[in-house]
Amino acid sequence: MPKALLVATLATLLVGSAACSRKTRSVDIAPDASLLAVEVQGEGEIEKYDLTGDGKPDLIKVFTRTGDPKVPLADRPRVLARTEIDFNRDGKLDVWQYFNPDGVMVREAMDHDFDGKVDAIDYYAQGAVYKREVFLPPGTQPTLWRYYEEGKLVRNERDTTGDGKPDVFEYFDDGKIVRVGYDRDADGKPDYYEEAKEE
Among 73, 91, 70, 93, CA closest to 83? 93
Q: How far apart are CA 118 and CA 95, in angstroms?
A: 8
Question: Could you tell me the end-to-end alpha-carbon distance of the chain, in angstroms, rounded to an integer?
Answer: 46
- 9 has pLDDT over 80: no
| Model confidence at 21: pLDDT above 70 | no
Name the more confident of 20 and 173. Answer: 173
The residue that leads in pLDDT, 126 or 99, is 99
Helix (H) or strand (E) holding 16: none
Is the pLDDT confidence value at 139 over 90? no
- Look at residue 57 in the predicted model and tell me its pLDDT: 93
- pLDDT at 53 > cutoff 70: yes
Supply φ then ψ for residue 155, to 5 degrees: -160, 140
Q: Is residue 129 scored above 50 in pLDDT?
A: yes
d(CA 57, CA 115): 18
In angstroms, how far is CA 112 from the centroid of its own chain? 11
Q: Is the pLDDT of residue 133 over 70?
A: yes
59 vs 18, residue with greater confidence: 59
What lies within 8 Å, CB to CB, of 184 at 6+ separation is 191, 192
Asked if the model's pLDDT at residue 123 lies above 70, the reply is: yes
Q: Are 123 and 117 in contact (CB under 8 A)?
A: no
Highest mean pLDDT among 15-19, 27-31, 40-44: 40-44
Euclidean distance between CA atoms 63 and 78, whole angstroms: 6
Domain boundaries defined on the chain = 1-125, 129-199
Reported as a pLDDT band with limits 50, 70 and 90, residue 12 is very low
| Reduced 3-state DSSP string for 121-153 | EEEEECCEEEEEEECCCCCCCCCEEEEEECCEE
Q: How confident is the model at residue 140 (pLDDT cuts 50, 70, 90)?
A: confident
| pLDDT score at 13 | 37
Confidence band (pLDDT; 50, 70, 90) for 28? low
Least confident of 6-10, 73-77, 143-147: 6-10
Cis peptide before 190 (omega within 30 of 0): no
Mean pLDDT of the chain: 84
Please say if the pLDDT value at position 2 is more than 80: no
pLDDT of residue 27: 52
User: What per-residue confidence (pLDDT) applies to 31?
Assistant: 65
**For every residue of 78-118, which 3-state class applies, written as one string?**
EEEEEEEECCCCCCCCCEEEEECCCCEEEEEEECCCCCCCC
User: Which amino acid, 186?
Assistant: A
What is the Cα–Cα distance from 24 to 40, expressed in whole angstroms?
A: 26
Please name every residue paired with 182 in a beta bridge, in sequence order, or none if there are none: 168, 192
